[in-house]
Structure 1
Amino acid sequence: MNHISEIRTVGVPVTDQDRAVAFYTDTLGFELLMDAPLPQFGGRWIVVAPAGSSGSSGSIALVPASEDNPAGVDTGIRMASPDAKTAHQHFLDTGVDTDELLEWPGVPPMFSLRDPDGNRLYLSQA
């Protein structure tokens, strides 16, 4: 019996949830799906996802960083774009901490970027 049907949400530790929401929504263009107080968790339960997806292709929970769950990690999250080269230039132009665009024969263009806490995310051409 298969008890797991999908991967829904990946938590990313952040030191300032308001700053993280602004980055993920205003800079990356995600939509805010949930922002609920969760004092026992040390902050709020915040979920963002690519605009228009309603989280159906996965979402990111912006969780409060802690000693056991520090910010500034390689999240391993791979996102897709219809045009990685244009996205790369956009993020450079807006001051996002962005690595070089990698373009290898036979491999979709890709690059990595970091949120304000230094959490690494990846973007490749769909």
Structure 2
Amino acid sequence: MSNYISHIATVEIPVSKLDRSVNFYVDVLGVEVEFKGEKNAMLSFQSKGVPTIFLVETAAEGKSLSFANSNDGVEHSVIDFYTPSLRELHQWLQEKNVEVGPLNLNQEHGLGGFGFKDPDGNLLSACICCIKGNKPAH
């Protein structure tokens, strides 16, 4: 086991229009802009131990973050954001005209989530799950 790495520091996301994406992430995720350059921006949740988001403007339009599960063909996000208010977030994103997928809840285990897309089509996900020390909300 390596003692050199303790956690994820930042997640980098490709975007085609930096200003539009910064506005989306600030509005939808509630992050703050730590730094904004001409072609990149560092966003933060302002919470200790939580990775920052580094948006990088790129000309690779049409290529978005996601992958297909080779077992069942389901498209998966690369990033899942935790929320204790899954139903409320799902409804709020719909009201903001964000493209969202169906709400999936397992009442027996208290687990669930749904996908949503940023302006470039990057698939993100919101989930409620059992993280060490956290109990699922019902």
Place the TM-score, normalised by the shorter chain, in its bin. Answer: 0.7 to 0.9
Runs (5+) with no aligned partner, structure 1: 38-42
TM-score, normalisation: structure 1:
0.81
Question: Match for residue 25 of structure 2?
Answer: 24
Structure-2 residue corresponding to 1:116: 119
5+ long unaligned stretches in structure 2 = 67-76, 130-138
- In 1, Cα distance between equivalents of 2:84 and 2:100: 18
Of 1-10 and 90-99, the range deviating more from structure 2:
1-10
Q: Which has the higher contact order (CA 8 A, sep 6+)?
A: 1
Alpha-carbon distance change, 96 to 124 in structure 1, aligned in 2, over 3 angstroms: same
Between the aligned partners of 2:88 and 2:125, the Cα distance in structure 1 is 15
Which among 75, 78, 91 is matched to residue 76 of structure 1? Answer: 78
Bigger shift: residues 115-124 or 27-36: 27-36
Structure 1 residue 93 and structure 2 residue 85: aligned?
no
Larger strand percent:
1
Task: Indicate the larger mover: 104-113 or 15-24.
Answer: 104-113
Whole-Å separation in 1 of the counterparts to 2:50 and 2:44: 8
- Taking every aligned residue pair, what percent have the same amino acid on both sides? 29
Q: How many residues align?
A: 117
Give the aligned CA root-mean-square deviation in angstroms. 2.0
Provide the residue aligned with 2:3 in structure 1: 2
Runs of 4+ in 1 over 3 A off after TM superposition: none
